[in-house]
Amino acid sequence: MPILLLPVLKTIVRMNNKWFLTIVLSKSFTIKEIRASFLEYFKSKRHLIEKSASLMPAEDPTLLFTTAGMVPFKDYFSGIVSPPSPRIASVQKCFRTTDLSNVGKTKRHMSMFEMLGNFSFGDYFKKEAIEFAWEYVTTCLPFDKEKIWVTIYLDDDEAFDIWHNHIGMPAHKIVRLGKSDNFWGPAGSTGACGPCSELYLDRGEQYTCFSDDPKPGDEGERFMEFWNLVFNQFDLKENGDYAPLKSTGIDTGAGLERLATLVQGVDSVFDTDELVELRKAVEEVYGVKYAGDNVEPIRVLTDHIRALTFTMSDGIFPSNESRGYVLRRLLRRALLFGRKIGQSEPLLYKLVPAVVKIYGYFYPELNSSLQLISDYIHGEERRFLQTLEVGYQKINDIMHHTKEFRNSEKVITGKEIFTLYDTFGFPPEMTQEIAESEGFKIDLAGFGAEMEKQRNRGKSAWKGDAGALKDITALTRFVGYETDHLLAKVAELLFSEDSGKTEARKSVHEHEVNNRVFYLVTDQTPCYPESGGQMGDSGFAHGKHFNCKIVDTQKQGNSIIHVCEALEGEIAVGAEIEIKIDAERRENLRKNHSVTHLLNAALRKKFGTHIRQSGSLVDPDYLRFDFTHPNRLTENEVEEIETRVNSAIAQKLPVNTQELVKAEAEKTGAVMNFGEKYGEVVRVVRMDDYSIEFCGGTHVKNTGDIKLFLIAKESSPGAGNRRIEAFSSDKACQKIIELENFLVKQLQTESHQIVDPYKDAFEKLQTELQNHIQKSEKEKFSIAYWHFLKKLETQIAGFATANKKALKKSAASLDINETLLDALISQKVSQNDRNMICGTVEGGIPRMKIMVDYIRSKSPDSIIILFSSDSQKWSLLLATTFAYAEQTGFDASQAIKKIMAAHPELKVGGGGKKELAQATGTIPSEGIAAAEKIILENAKKLL
């Protein structure tokens, strides 16, 4: 066995003809060291070490959050994707809210935690998993073998035999438990699952145990579970069937904080070293001690700020929907407990730097998000604290009224809960927590009924929620592949009444509509309903007695729903109407949808078949494409993908569609999108041999119709996924012109302050760009020209950065007083809507120009007036940046001419450009002070 590089004392011993690593632990065996020891141990066992995935699960609609260490590997267990190694180990950040009400109350519940895990995908199984676990906890951790117990699933005799006969665990320490305790998974509603075996530590008689025969599974704190070994052998299907996995697997999970509690010999997870550090930060920020009634609120704040910081660093932010609602609930719960220890102003956000400081070394994504997260939490705190006191008083009033005037048991009604939620922003869970602390019950069923009433009152336009339009039954035939206009018959009409309720109508008149929408269902339509990432069509409908605008198209079941507005006249069920789609918008949608297929194919050809579409948006103006890939694309890789796609466009490949039985379609090798549900008959879109996919969207007839494809941005929407935002066709050409114009202005702006040795290189860039601008439209609207502009943009930025350093160096060599210049900048004033920096300095024109460059680099949106003098003459410099001169209309050269004309007695001479001009003159008989006053006052008047 190889020596593990652990931050502890180590010795190698031989027992029963095997080599073991033994560790002598110091008192400073930290969480950091436990993480390292776990990963090093399993690395020595030929496991690939994977970084933690995002808390936002990739491509998994069954989960809101990453709730376990195996979540990123679900597809490996199910056989959908081949793993990079048959053995993997990780430390995975996890987030669960199933026991949120217990967080703070107990010694071990948390919402966010770290999970140590080792995994096998068709490699080793029960015997090796048990051996690894036993060896790690008895040789790498300070556990007494005699205090370790295990549990197994009721009928898992194989696991019993391994523990008893192979490991040597006494039979009475192997406890058989049922499905609720020892059958795990899946993570979500479907996926890998199986029986499990859990390791427990007997913490001793000093901990509570409510049994005469103490053992794992009993109530109390004596036995603490610290590692779960799941033997994955089933795949739970949507219909509830447990199908055998294609190959068995191992999924283990050890909660790091819980493990540290045992290793460090402390009382709770909140006493482990990293959480103690964060807990102390809470005490400092809130000005309270961790004792007595403060213990629960401090635990809640410690847990919740850590969870919020981690989830938000993964791009999940508090909101009113889905994952965001969970985080908003978590944040508001933290504020509720903050109130219990005296919080009356935003404080929680001040803890974000502490979280980043403690955990940033292992989770580097935290470091780049600190300010964003702090600001976001601060804003949420500020808004909610404004209503918290009022809402809290309202709850107290309700409870007081109930005690005084209701003879029945203490219950807060559903309507009261709804009022607190709708008016004061109190989630029902928060109301429940406050109420139960005072011995009240709450009517959640009644609250649900009130929420349903609100939904029925809603007047919002269709957003894909079928609730308000659930009674639509008409069958709509889509014929938009063949035509963009047709005659149809009105099958159903729906309209939101003044009451807010959406009801079926026989007719709708223009005087009823005003600014509201109504819903139109016909027997057939050319309008494509939003699906597969492609936005729904818009267009127009008109008949004998009406005209209206179609602003969106959606689908519900077998019905296609036109969302309409701007009605003129009256429309009625049974009327014959003509529907026309917005042909230009549809054409742009076709191009952007088709190019996503080319992009998907290009990515798979470049990086391999692990590339899978994980999301997309096909908008008429741009496209967004999310795909599975572990690494950021380099600049060269982005260029190569652009070149591959544009090559396919230039080849003018024919685009053909075909409907096939799904089994036959699969034989073609067509790419299917993860998460999409397909029927027995599917539509296959083929772009020659370059791309073939299952797809129901609309497409061009030839890839040449797309003209051009440009990638605007490559980023990550979450761990394991990348996102490309791009433009095609005329929008791509427009982006080339925009970038070209931007670079022309940028070169003009930067050119005035370029110093040696960069002047020649900078002028060369200007000349090169001007030469390209003269080229033909065909040459300009090409991927080659786009790449030239992007490289030029990088070069200009590089020169600008290097030039600033050179300017600073020049200032230092001339002994420029930067403190004086910074003071001048700080005294900037506004006059006639123009910013002005004015002052008297020492030195001649060359020295003053260096000062101007320094000031312009610090304050580019200002007009600079510098005056200097010696015994013979005075000097004046007027300057700004090219961009600010363009913005304000200021012209330094014209200002100098006006000064020369106004004061011939000073014998003024000078000139220059609109962004930089200079003047010199003689000292008048009144002296230098008089010259300074005359010149500066005149210069200021010219602003």
The residue behind tokens 């260029």 is 639
User: Please, what is the Cα angle at 535 between 533 and 536, to 5 degrees?
Assistant: 130
The conformation of residue 297, written as its DSSP 8-state character, comes to: H
84 upstream amide cis, omega within 30 of 0 = no
List the one residue out of 839, 833, 883 whose CA is nearest residue 861: 883
Q: Does residue 521 register a pLDDT over 90? A: yes
User: The tokens of 297 are what?
Assistant: 């609120």
Q: Among 327-341, 459-473, 587-601, whose mean pLDDT is lowest? A: 459-473
- Write out pLDDT tens, residues 565-593: 888 888 999 999 999 998 888 999 999 99
Alpha carbons within 13 angstroms on the beta-carbon side of residue 761 total 14
- Write out pLDDT tens, residues 133-171: 999 999 999 899 999 999 999 999 999 999 999 999 999
Determine the Cα–Cα distance for residues 585 and 528; give it in Å rounded to an integer.
Answer: 12
List the one residue out of 309, 270, 256, 314 whose CA is nearest residue 36: 256
Report whether 252 contacts 227 (CB < 8 A). yes
Report whether 211 contacts 175 (CB < 8 A). no
The conformation of residue 707, written as its DSSP 8-state character, comes to: -
Residue 352 has a pLDDT of: 96
H or E, element range at 10? strand 9-15
Determine the Cα–Cα distance for residues 684 and 670; give it in Å rounded to an integer.
Answer: 7
Residue 10 has a pLDDT of: 42
Alpha-carbon separation of residue 857 from 122, 761, 775 (angstroms): 61, 20, 34
Determine the Cα–Cα distance for residues 103 and 431; give it in Å rounded to an integer.
Answer: 16
The conformation of residue 914, written as its DSSP 8-state character, comes to: T
Residue 777 has a pLDDT of: 67
- Write out pLDDT tens, residues 80-95: 678 889 999 999 999 9
Residue 21 has a pLDDT of: 44
Report whether 383 contacts 335 (CB < 8 A). no
The residue behind tokens 């967080």 is 103
Which phi and psi angles does 799 have, rounded to 5°?
Answer: -65, -40
Residue 160 has a pLDDT of: 97
The conformation of residue 529, written as its DSSP 8-state character, comes to: P
Report whether 734 contacts 707 (CB < 8 A). no
User: Please, what is the Cα angle at 898 between 893 and 903, to 5 degrees?
Assistant: 130
User: The tokens of 571 are what?
Assistant: 């429309």
List the one residue out of 103, 568, 566 whose CA is nearest residue 297: 103
Residue 121 has a pLDDT of: 93
Average pLDDT over residues 220-246: 88
The residue behind tokens 């409908």 is 541
Percent of the chain with pLDDT over 70: 88
Report whether 416 contacts 444 (CB < 8 A). no
List the one residue out of 843, 853, 915 whose CA is nearest residue 883: 915
The confidence band for 408, taking pLDDT boundaries of 50, 70 and 90, is low
- Write out pLDDT tens, residues 38-77: 999 999 999 999 999 989 887 566 788 999 999 988 888 8
Cα torsion angle, 875, 880, 885, 890, sign: negative
- Comparison of pLDDT for 21 and 829, the residue scoring more: 829
Q: Does residue 325 register a pLDDT over 90? A: no
Which phi and psi angles does 254 have, rounded to 5°?
Answer: -125, 115
Residues 6+ apart with CB under 8 A from 490: 520, 521, 522, 571, 572, 573, 574, 575, 576, 577
Residue 692 has a pLDDT of: 92
Residue 3 has a pLDDT of: 34
The conformation of residue 364, written as its DSSP 8-state character, comes to: G
Average pLDDT over residues 691-707: 92
Please report, to the nearest 10 degrees, the dihedral formed by the alpha carbons of residues 476, 478, 484, 489 taken in order: -20
The confidence band for 20, taking pLDDT boundaries of 50, 70 and 90, is very low
User: The tokens of 358 are what?
Assistant: 């403690």
Residue 37 has a pLDDT of: 96
Q: Among 206-210, 502-506, 537-541, 812-816, whose mean pLDDT is lowest? A: 812-816
Neighbouring CB atoms inside 10 A of 557's CB total 13
- Sort 788 into a burial class: Cβ within 10 Å, 0-12 / 13-18 / 19+: middle
Residue 768 has a pLDDT of: 80
User: The tokens of 76 are what?
Assistant: 């490996």
Report whether 328 contacts 1 (CB < 8 A). no
Residue 627 has a pLDDT of: 84
The confidence band for 808, taking pLDDT boundaries of 50, 70 and 90, is low
Cα torsion angle, 271, 275, 277, 279, sign: negative
Residues 6+ apart with CB under 8 A from 718: 54, 56, 58, 314, 315
Task: Please provide the DSSP assignment of 602-653 as one string.
Answer: HHHHHH-TT--EEEEEE-SS-EEEEEE-SSPPPHHHHHHHHHHHHHHHHTT-
Report whether 104 contacts 337 (CB < 8 A). yes
Residue type, 879: A
Which phi and psi angles does 202 have, rounded to 5°?
Answer: -80, 110
- Write out pLDDT tens, residues 268-298: 999 999 999 999 999 999 999 999 999 999 9
3-state SS of 452-493 is HHHHHHCCCCCCCCCHHHCCCCCCCEECCCCCCEEEEEEEEE
The conformation of residue 97, written as its DSSP 8-state character, comes to: -
List the one residue out of 483, 414, 491 whose CA is nearest residue 453: 414
Cα torsion angle, 68, 70, 74, 77, sign: negative
Residue 283 has a pLDDT of: 97
User: The tokens of 498 are what?
Assistant: 């003044």
Determine the Cα–Cα distance for residues 544 and 32; give it in Å rounded to an integer.
Answer: 76
Average pLDDT, the chain: 84
Q: Among 226-240, 359-373, 492-506, whose mean pLDDT is lowest? A: 492-506
Q: Does residue 465 register a pLDDT over 60? A: no
Q: Among 60-64, 170-174, 452-456, 813-817, whose mean pLDDT is lowest? A: 452-456
Task: Please provide the DSSP assignment of 759-795 as one string.
Answer: HHHHHHHHHHHHHHHTS-HHHHSSHHHHHHHHHHHHH
H or E, element range at 912? strand 909-913
Average pLDDT over residues 876-888: 81
Task: Please provide the DSSP assignment of 172-202 as one string.
Answer: GGEEEE-HHHHEE--SSSSEEEEEEEEEEEE
- Sort 858 into a burial class: Cβ within 10 Å, 0-12 / 13-18 / 19+: middle
Report whether 512 contacts 488 (CB < 8 A). no
Characterize the bridge pairing of strands 183-184 and 191-202: antiparallel
Determine the Cα–Cα distance for residues 913 and 528; give it in Å rounded to an integer.
Answer: 57
Instruction: Give the start-end residues of each E strand in 499-612.
Output: 502-505, 507-509, 518-522, 524-525, 539-543, 546-556, 559-572, 576-581
Determine the Cα–Cα distance for residues 121 and 232; give it in Å rounded to an integer.
Answer: 9
Determine the Cα–Cα distance for residues 432 and 333; give it in Å rounded to an integer.
Answer: 11
Q: Does residue 876 register a pLDDT over 50? A: yes
Per DSSP, the three-state class of 442 is strand
Q: Does residue 445 register a pLDDT over 60? A: yes
Determine the Cα–Cα distance for residues 899 and 877; give it in Å rounded to an integer.
Answer: 12
